[in-house]
Structure 1
Amino acid sequence: MKKLLLFLLALTTVVVLAACTANEDAGQDPEESDEGETETDTNDAEAVEEDPGEKVLRLNNGVEPTSLDPSIGFDAVSWDPLNNLMEGLTRLDEDSVAAGGVAESWDISEDGLTYTFYLREDANWSNGDPVVAEDFVYAWKYMLDPNTASSAAFLGYFIEGGEAFNNGEGSADDVAVTAVDDKTLEVVLAAPTGFFLDLLTNPAFFPVNHQVAADNPSWHAEADSFVANGPFMLESWTHDTEMVFAKNTEYWDADAVKLDKVHFAMVNDTNTQYQMFETGDLDTATIPPELSDQLIDGDNVYIGNYGGLEFFRFNITEEPFQNKKIRQAFAYAINRQDIADYVVKNGVEPAYGFVSPGFTTPSGGDFRDGNGDLVSFDPDSATQLLEEGMAEEGYDELPPVVLSYNTSDLNKAVAETVQGMLTDSLGIDVTLENQEWNVFAEAQQNLELQFSRSSFINDYSDPVNFLESFITDSYMNRTGWSNAEYDELIANGKSETDEEQRYEYLYEAERLLAEEMIAVPLRYYNTVVLQADGVEGILRHPVGYFDLKYADKN
């Protein structure tokens, strides 16, 4: 089977790329970032001037990256470019397992708290500077600095002193990351974290050349000032139109990089990018939903898991969703299978739980199988629950309900389908409201939306990543819900060193989330990619970003 590219153009159902877990702004949200799904003006992609002897891969990033500053570009449209321009201490390998990146090796203390990383002697920046431990110290403290306002900062809370610094209750000196010498980095964690090496593959933990950043804080904004330490360097950047990457000859593993260049177009229209694929102007493309039935079974199509969930949030501070039974009634009135089969299409799977498939348990199973289906389509139960909930609240009729979604054709189609299902199953009228992404994200964060669309893309490969979004005061909560028992389960699900027991905490937390039903799962994300003949070696990670280090084009 041909190896196919994980290409995330959020404009369609093929996964948005976002995760970001607990974060959703940064212009485009990592988790809510179905930004790619937002249809905007189509940009005309310029042809790449190629040397006939060069290997040039032509891809589509959909839209302009939010930022190529690793602390700010915490979203799908920034992660893929960043993951190929830069490299952290660890990097996902061919099996999507955290392996050595800039760090050649590391030691972990017996108590699981202290990590000592040994950086490669031949790890350099594209300008020839060596990558040193201070580059990581600078980057991570910059991310955690409250003045940076990084959406990724919560990921640094695993480091001792990280949360206090970010919350303004501590100083940068309290953050336990230390450059022992140029090539040795020591990190002390707040609690044992078994998935820390995987966490470090997230672009938020990429280094920043501290000397370059000191001279030019906007080093990341233009190609001529950008310094890379990954497989590729930024050769040119025509904003909102295209980016061209060139092989980074200073990269420590440059011999493994086969491509000479990668050209990223920025075409935020599924039909246009598909037409470009058909004419050979793109080497990969997503399938327009209206062509799914026709193309989905083709030999050049890959369908794979992608760690993420589309769901609707309830605002429990607004009527009628302060009532648990009414929330449950809405959840049981929705036919997820029909949404997957007839609306979203492209092989997506309906979601009967919150954590997406693909997370391996300590016993070798799948987390999703272990906790099973937690919600189903059951119109009879939905009707009964609605009646009981209305009686508890003294309602003769349900208060008006408004379902809000961020603008895109697909989001509209899903919302209209859910609207019809709620009418058919419960006999209630729901008003739809669409808003542009930035307005929508701010309103949702401020608890101004009653019932609203959401999406989540995992930041790292552990079930706690989604579940932690709903702890009290989490930036990602956006429901008004607070539950001390849930908070404790998530705390244990992060710090427990016995992995079997840790997963039990996470199972219990997901069941509690389903019982409270503060959110309604709809469908899991997946990766659907068309890829041209001759393109191979692109790594597509179920939780992560696509990797072009080993890509080739014949």
Structure 2
Amino acid sequence: MKGTQARKPAVDTALGPLSLAWVCLAVLVLGVSCTGDAPPRRQHPEENVLRIAVPSDPRSLDPAIAYDVVTWPLVRTLFHGLVDYDDDLNLVPWHARSWSISEDGRTITFKLRRDIRFTNGRSITSRDFAWSLERILDPATKSPGQGFYRNIAGARAFQDGSADRVTGLRTPDPETLLIELVHPDLPFLYCMAMPFAYAVPREEVERRGETFGRHPVGAGPFVLADWQRGTRMRLEKNPAYYLADEIRLEAIELMVGGDETLHMMMFERGELDIASVTSTGIPDADFIRVMKDPVLSQRVAHQPLNAIQYLSMNTEMAPFDRVNVRRAVNHAIDRQRIVNLISDRGILARGVLPPGMPGFNEALEGYDHDPEKARRLLAEAGYPDGFTTELMITAQSGIDTKIGQAVQQDLGEVGITVEIRPVTGSTRIEATGRRGAVPFSTFGWYQDYPDPSNFLDVLLNGNRITEVNSTNVAFYDNASVNALLNEASTSTDQDLRLALYREAERLVVEDAPWVFLYYPQMYLLRQPWLKGLKLNPVWPIRYELMWIEP
């Protein structure tokens, strides 16, 4: 899952109406911000409404398109899937009341509940799930999730136009969904827990077309009541939800706009219930103060993440199409300094897989900080005087800004001039997934499911490259790595799979399509009246479990 994230100047000094409004709000908040140790008072104590803020609008609320750590928790509140995770990362029934797997591991049979409806009133059947999966695989949808489901029998024929349907999706009755796979696929059930596989109503998708993501109709515990782009979003409790009695929030209010500094000030005034719901968690500028504060520190929820923060180098674009350039960049950057700059909120990365992921290889050495070696490698690659490139970062992220400045300084010392290009998180996700568009970018990846394939195969298999919405944003394509990953994907021997993934990771590190920065940790700061916040390695934030207790 991605972290949120014509040439123009690094800083745009022109203020439009919305920008000016946020500046005025920031001035107002600064002028009346609380001081001292008095706890904040909630601005609306009588309402059981969760109030949060995001720096920019989600790109889409369509489960076929949404794919980042800020938007997925919202999609969960609006839609419903077959299976989910419990707090111990076990798969549990959700819309499916049960499932079974054939002896050869190639056919999965789901039995569905009968009591769940879309918010337009129509009952959900197995055909809705089959059509939703087929829609993901339809090239016209341009879903970033299509690669997770290509092992369904008939998927590739459907995608290349030689078949008009996916033959491996069968619905013998309204309560039964059969999925036939080309080969056994141990992580496939995890993929069925991803929001891509949530049911959407065909009639609403066809009625709305490309605007369905702004007018979503699902079957979740909430419905979208209002979305004023650039300003606010409001989700309200779905009274027809089959577990409505277990949903304690009446609504979720999102302020759209402003940066993490403004959001932190609003939090300390009691206007927000969580300081930041982005991958940054506690704003970087406030982290040390919060952790040292005897009151605020008690309101911090902390959890290590199966995630990695990295710099992606587009291996199809010069000069990053040369391996020695990529290795030079790795040696030039002082990653330990970057970890120090973010208040040690990460573990130094030497490869792709984080420590909590099966297959993690402690023996990987990665790249040490060696500017002189970087200069030699640049010269060998044909760039003795360096080169100029552009680094795309997320504009509203203090951590991204620090990373960008550190990278700019480190690479400057070996002759590489870096121009920093700040953009919104949704713009970065769209641009980096478009072929030939972005040479160099900060990027973060958070596990979608607890299997090494979710990192190595999804992010680095050349077969995952697409023209748009590519999850392989380095556009890295090594035939030997692809073969290892493909063999691992078909094996049912877990020890063999992990050995294959370790070898693939070793080759990836040698090829250096990324600068492997650090494995982040999550710190969320919440108000004392917010209850039900349970961090989960796959679902860090689950709004549907929360409530307000004045």
- Does TM, scored on the shorter chain, surpass 0.5? yes
Partner SS state of residue 115, structure 2 = coil
CA contact (8 A) 2:390 2:440 kept: yes
CA distance 1:544–1:157, change in 2 (3 Å): farther
After superposing the two structures, state which structure 1 stretch, 73-82 or 434-443, moved more: 434-443
CA distance 1:172–1:143, change in 2 (3 Å): farther
CA contact (8 A) 1:339 1:350 kept: no
CA contact (8 A) 1:232 1:245 kept: yes
One-letter code aligned to 1:201? A
CA contact (8 A) 2:331 2:374 kept: no
Cα deviation per residue 1:179-238 (whole Å; 9 max; x = unaligned)?
Answer: 221111111122212122221121111101234445554784566xx4331222333333
* Among candidates 474, 477, 483, match of residue 478 of structure 2: 483
Instruction: Give the Cα separation in 2 of the matches to 1:219 and 1:136.
Output: 20
One-letter code aligned to 2:183? A
CA contact (8 A) 1:371 1:507 kept: no
Residue 330 of structure 2 aligns with which residue? 331
Instruction: Give the Cα separation in 2 of the matches to 1:190 and 1:547.
Output: 34
Partner SS state of residue 290, structure 1 = helix
Q: TM-score, normalised by structure 2?
A: 0.82
Instruction: Give the Cα separation in 1 of the matches to 2:417 and 2:153.
Output: 47
Residue 310 of structure 1 aligns with which residue? 309
Residue 377 of structure 1 pairs with residue 376 of structure 2:
no
CA contact (8 A) 1:329 1:383 kept: no
CA distance 1:277–1:449, change in 2 (3 Å): closer
Partner SS state of residue 455, structure 2 = helix
* Among candidates 233, 241, 244, match of residue 234 of structure 2: 244
CA distance 1:446–1:141, change in 2 (3 Å): closer
Residue 432 of structure 1 aligns with which residue? 419
One-letter code aligned to 2:421? N
| C-alpha RMSD of the superposition | 3.1
Instruction: Give the Cα separation in 2 of the matches to 1:156 and 1:457.
Output: 19
CA contact (8 A) 1:156 1:163 kept: no
CA contact (8 A) 1:353 1:375 kept: yes
Instruction: Give the Cα separation in 1 of the matches to 2:141 and 2:443.
Output: 25
One-letter code aligned to 1:338? R
CA distance 1:341–1:399, change in 2 (3 Å): closer
Partner SS state of residue 503, structure 2 = helix
One-letter code aligned to 2:415? I
Instruction: Give the Cα separation in 2 of the matches to 1:135 and 1:411.
Output: 40
CA contact (8 A) 1:302 1:528 kept: yes
Structure 2: give runs of 5+ residues left out of the alignment.
Answer: 6-10, 13-17, 27-41, 277-281
- Residue 314 of structure 1: how far off its partner (Å): 3.1
Residue 454 of structure 1 pairs with residue 447 of structure 2:
no
Residue 405 of structure 1 pairs with residue 400 of structure 2:
no
CA contact (8 A) 1:104 1:120 kept: yes
Residue 273 of structure 1 pairs with residue 263 of structure 2:
yes
Cα deviation per residue 1:359-407 (whole Å; 9 max; x = unaligned)?
Answer: 2x3xxxxx33x3444314342xx5346426634x566x24424242235
Cα deviation per residue 1:87-132 (whole Å; 9 max; x = unaligned)?
Answer: 1001122223321110010011111111110111222223432221
Residue 152 of structure 1 pairs with residue 151 of structure 2:
no
CA distance 1:388–1:292, change in 2 (3 Å): closer
CA distance 1:235–1:378, change in 2 (3 Å): closer
Cα deviation per residue 1:37-79 (whole Å; 9 max; x = unaligned)?
Answer: x99947679xx99793x52222224332222221122333431
After superposing the two structures, state which structure 1 stretch, 177-186 or 59-68, moved more: 59-68
CA contact (8 A) 2:61 2:214 kept: no
- Residue 340 of structure 1: how far off its partner (Å): 1.4
Residue 154 of structure 2 aligns with which residue? 161
CA distance 1:105–1:304, change in 2 (3 Å): same
Residue 208 of structure 1 pairs with residue 200 of structure 2:
yes
One-letter code aligned to 2:403? V
CA contact (8 A) 2:114 2:175 kept: yes
CA distance 1:547–1:420, change in 2 (3 Å): same
Cα deviation per residue 1:272-318 (whole Å; 9 max; x = unaligned)?
Answer: 11122112111111332222211134111122223432222334455
* Among candidates 452, 455, 477, match of residue 463 of structure 1: 452
Mapping of 1:388-403 within 5 angstroms? 390-391=379-380, 393=381, 397-403=384-390
* Among candidates 79, 93, 101, match of residue 100 of structure 1: 93
Residue 120 of structure 1 aligns with which residue? 113
Instruction: Give the Cα separation in 2 of the matches to 1:295 and 1:162.
Output: 50
Partner SS state of residue 520, structure 1 = strand
Mapping of 1:46-195 within 5 angstroms? 52=46, 54-166=47-159, 168-195=160-187
CA contact (8 A) 1:32 1:454 kept: yes
CA contact (8 A) 1:314 1:519 kept: yes
Residue 37 of structure 2 aligns with which residue? none
Instruction: Give the Cα separation in 2 of the matches to 1:407 and 1:539.
Output: 27
One-letter code aligned to 1:353? G
CA distance 1:165–1:33, change in 2 (3 Å): farther
Residue 259 of structure 1 pairs with residue 249 of structure 2:
yes
One-letter code aligned to 1:123? I
Instruction: Give the Cα separation in 2 of the matches to 1:394 and 1:196.
Output: 44
Residue 341 of structure 1 pairs with residue 340 of structure 2:
yes
One-letter code aligned to 1:340? V
Residue 224 of structure 2 aligns with which residue? 234
CA contact (8 A) 1:447 1:479 kept: no
CA contact (8 A) 1:313 1:454 kept: yes
After superposing the two structures, state which structure 1 stretch, 228-237 or 129-138, moved more: 228-237
Instruction: Give the Cα separation in 2 of the matches to 1:103 and 1:549.
Output: 19
CA distance 1:412–1:175, change in 2 (3 Å): farther
Partner SS state of residue 514, structure 1 = helix
CA distance 1:407–1:236, change in 2 (3 Å): closer
CA distance 1:405–1:328, change in 2 (3 Å): same
Partner SS state of residue 123, structure 2 = coil
After superposing the two structures, state which structure 1 stretch, 444-453 or 86-95, moved more: 444-453
CA distance 1:440–1:504, change in 2 (3 Å): closer
CA contact (8 A) 1:240 1:266 kept: yes
> How many pairs align?
502
One-letter code aligned to 1:454? F
Partner SS state of residue 526, structure 1 = strand
One-letter code aligned to 1:356? P
- Residue 32 of structure 1: how far off its partner (Å): 6.0
Partner SS state of residue 174, structure 1 = coil
Instruction: Give the Cα separation in 1 of the matches to 2:153 and 2:100.
Output: 18
Between the two proteins, what is the percent identity of the paired residues? 26
Mapping of 1:285-300 within 5 angstroms? 285-286=275-276, 287-297=282-292, 298-300=297-299
CA contact (8 A) 1:146 1:165 kept: no
Partner SS state of residue 374, structure 1 = coil
Instruction: Give the Cα separation in 1 of the matches to 2:502 and 2:154.
Output: 29
Instruction: Give the Cα separation in 2 of the matches to 1:435 and 1:218.
Output: 27
Instruction: Give the Cα separation in 2 of the matches to 1:491 and 1:274.
Output: 45
